[in-house]
Amino acid sequence: MSATGTATAAISDTLIDEIRGVVGAEGLITDPAATRVYECDGFVLARKSPQLVVLPASREEVAATLRLLWQAEVPFVPRGAGTGLSGGCLPLQAPVMVGTSRLRRIREVDVANRRAVVEAGVVNLHVTRAVAEHGLLYAPDPSSQGACTVGGNVAENSGGPHTLKYGVTTNHVLGIELVLPDGRVVELGGVVDDVPGYDLRGFAIGGEGTVGLVTAATLRLVPVPAAVRTMMAVFGSVDDACRAVSAIIAAGVIPAALELMDRLIVQAVEDAYGFGFPTGAGAVLIVELDGLADGVAEQVEAVEALCRESSADEVRVARDEAERAALWKSRKKAFGAVGRLAPNYCTQDGVVPRGSVPEILRRISAVAERQRLRIANVFHAGDGNIHPIILFDERDEDEVRRVLDAGREILEACVDLGGSVTGEHGIGVEKIEQMPLIFSPTDLRVMAELRAVFDPLSRCNPGKILPTPGACVELGAPRRQVPL
């Protein structure tokens, strides 16, 4: 159940007093009842409580805190809202956690230049809310966008259903303000796209908090699309649905979102909510198109035709906002519905080239058969980001073991097909053992050297991303997993 970390440095009372002097009593958590709730994020298979949680309220407080920790030679782990799905902020080898929940200011909204400077603890959705009156939005929209924060999005390079058209976090962050483990503050990137020299901004984004603590980011804002249409296509088989996906992309249409649900998911959703999907549907595709009104209307017709050419039994275009909301509800509630099929479920995250989606689905069903498990699939079809949901009962120890084996086999299959072990959940502690599957020893060594430039003494989230002897984590039984 608990993670096995190496021995951690002791925290002296003097250090605690000094940190309290910086952040005040309200910014410091020492009580074991309260530090206990920080033992895991959205990934609950590995747990370890920090000894101390610090919640600074400004860049200056972050810098002063990190300087004190640096001098005392105590490692720390940064934490955003704790919605991560791979254990990125597990305090594996660090006794201190530094959270960004009190860094909540939107420092600046620059409408003319379409950018905003926000602190790390600002909730993703609050950025879009703050700029909505100007007809702008912040595009990356992870499913946790109502709770996850910009700092965590930067650390994980988060995606979302609209990644296909709009890209991931790194495509929308112009610059970041980063406090290095020794307390120095650096600005990476800038306020424009093309900053001369090395792209250190790009290096730090997706660094999972191993190169310092992000205190603020300059975000790119995009105009709210003039028109949005959402449609649903029902297919007899997943293969037909995948052919439609390929045809849509090949035709040059870039949907804002392209989501696929397989037979098991469709049945579960239908049983739970009665959306009116035809019984026996092998797969349902949800397509969202956005842009200028005229163009969108043409694309809707094109996508409908392409779906029918790929043997769609039915294509339905949402007529109004209520129907559109209902379609998205079927996708977003899918996980809740799956909860009805089994006491527990565990969601994997992997990527394959779009063309290999039918093949990975075949391999997933082979894994399911071999391991005697039920696996449902709902995923971002447009970019080959799969999310197999493995159903099980945690009281059956043998089944739990088979679930973990199945997860590994599926990720290995992704790599085998030229993909990757994570699409959007990050490495954290969950997938650190699989890093050598996608990177050569030299790749990994260069990464380690580069990381050492920022964190030469491994004080910042040690034991993450790059496999090291101390980074092995014994995973417990998966509990019910979280929706994506």
Partner 1 sequence: MNMERAEHSAIDDSLLRQCVHCGLCLDACPTYVELGNEADSPRGRIHLATALAGGDLELSDEAVRHFDLCLGCRACETACPSGVPYGRIIEETRAHIEARHRRSWLDRLRRSAVLAVFPHRGRLAWLTRLVRALQLVGLWPLVRRLVPAARLFPKLSAGQPLRSSEPDGEAVRRVGFLRGCVSDVVQPQVNAAAARVLRRARVAVDVAAGQGCCGALHLHAGDVDQARRLARANIDAFDGRELDAVVVTAAGCGAAMREYGELLRDDPAYRERAARFAARVRDVTELVEPLLPESGGGQGAGRRVTYHDACHLAHAQGVRSQPRALLSRIAGWQLVELEESDRCCGSAGSYNLTEPEMAAALAMRKVDCIERSGADCVAVANPGCALQIAAELRRRGNPMRVAHPLELVDESLAARSE
Q: Is 325 in the site for partner 1 (CB under 8 A)?
A: no
Closer Cβ to partner 1, 76 or 335, answer by number: 335
CA nearest to 421, candidates 447, 439, 394: 439
Number of other CB atoms surrounding residue 196 within 10 Å: 5
Closer Cβ to partner 1, 156 or 455, answer by number: 156
Q: Is 379 in the site for partner 1 (CB under 8 A)?
A: no
Q: CB 53 → partner 1: shortest distance, Å?
A: 8
Q: Is 40 in the site for partner 1 (CB under 8 A)?
A: yes
Q: CB 250 → partner 1: shortest distance, Å?
A: 34
- Count of chain residues binding partner 1 (CB under 8 A): 40
Dihedral, 298, 300, 302, 307 alpha carbons, nearest 10: 180
| The only residue of 22, 38, 234, 238 in contact with partner 1, by rule CB under 8 A | 38
| DSSP letter for each residue of 426-442 | --TTTSGGGHHHHS-HH
Per-position x/- string for 89-118, each x denoting binding to partner 1 as judged by CB under 8 A, each - no binding = ----------x-xx-x--------------
Please tell me the distance from the alpha carbon of residue 308 to that of residue 477, in angstroms, as a whole number: 43
Q: Is 134 in the site for partner 1 (CB under 8 A)?
A: no
Whose structure tokens read 């293969």? 239
Q: CB 82 → partner 1: shortest distance, Å?
A: 5
- Contact predicate 124/81, CB 8 Å: no
Q: Is 399 in the site for partner 1 (CB under 8 A)?
A: no
| The only residue of 339, 350, 384, 428 in contact with partner 1, by rule CB under 8 A | 339
Those residues with Cβ within 8 angstroms of residue 370's Cβ, 6 or more apart along the chain or in another chain: none
Q: Is 329 in the site for partner 1 (CB under 8 A)?
A: no
3-state helix, strand, coil in the chain (%, to 5): 40, 20, 40
Closer Cβ to partner 1, 372 or 479, answer by number: 479
Q: CB 32 → partner 1: shortest distance, Å?
A: 8
Q: Is 34 in the site for partner 1 (CB under 8 A)?
A: yes
Per-position x/- string for 410-439, each x denoting binding to partner 1 as judged by CB under 8 A, each - no binding = ------------------------------
Q: Is 23 in the site for partner 1 (CB under 8 A)?
A: no
Please tell me the distance from the alpha carbon of residue 54 to that of residue 35, in angstroms, as a whole number: 10
Closer Cβ to partner 1, 9 or 125, answer by number: 125
Q: Is 320 in the site for partner 1 (CB under 8 A)?
A: no
Structure tokens at 330: 């079927």
Please tell me the distance from the alpha carbon of residue 93 to that of residue 286, in angstroms, as a whole number: 43
Q: CB 85 → partner 1: shortest distance, Å?
A: 8
Q: CB 33 → partner 1: shortest distance, Å?
A: 4
Q: CB 83 → partner 1: shortest distance, Å?
A: 4
| The only residue of 22, 41, 331, 435 in contact with partner 1, by rule CB under 8 A | 41
Backbone torsions φ then ψ of 362, nearest 5 degrees: -65, -40
Q: CB 280 → partner 1: shortest distance, Å?
A: 27
Cα–Cα distances in angstroms (integers) from residue 29 to residues 51, 52, 76, 344, 478, in the given order: 9, 6, 14, 33, 28
CA nearest to 106, candidates 125, 83, 78, 80: 125
Interaction with partner 1 in 145-164: which residues (CB under 8 A)? 146-148
Radius of gyration of the chain measured on its C-alpha atoms:
23
Q: Is 269 in the site for partner 1 (CB under 8 A)?
A: no
Q: Long-range contacts: 103-111, Cβ < 8 Å, 24+?
A: 103/56, 103/57, 103/58, 103/59, 103/62, 103/151, 103/215, 103/216, 106/130, 107/216, 109/134, 111/136
Q: Is 403 in the site for partner 1 (CB under 8 A)?
A: no
Please tell me the distance from the alpha carbon of residue 196 to that of residue 107, in angstroms, as a whole number: 25
Closer Cβ to partner 1, 123 or 258, answer by number: 123
CA 482 to chain centre: 12
| The only residue of 5, 42, 209, 384 in contact with partner 1, by rule CB under 8 A | 42
* Binding interface with partner 1 (CB under 8 A): 26, 29, 31, 33-34, 36-42, 44, 53, 55, 81-83, 99, 101-102, 104, 121, 123, 125-126, 144, 146-148, 332-333, 335-336, 339, 479-483
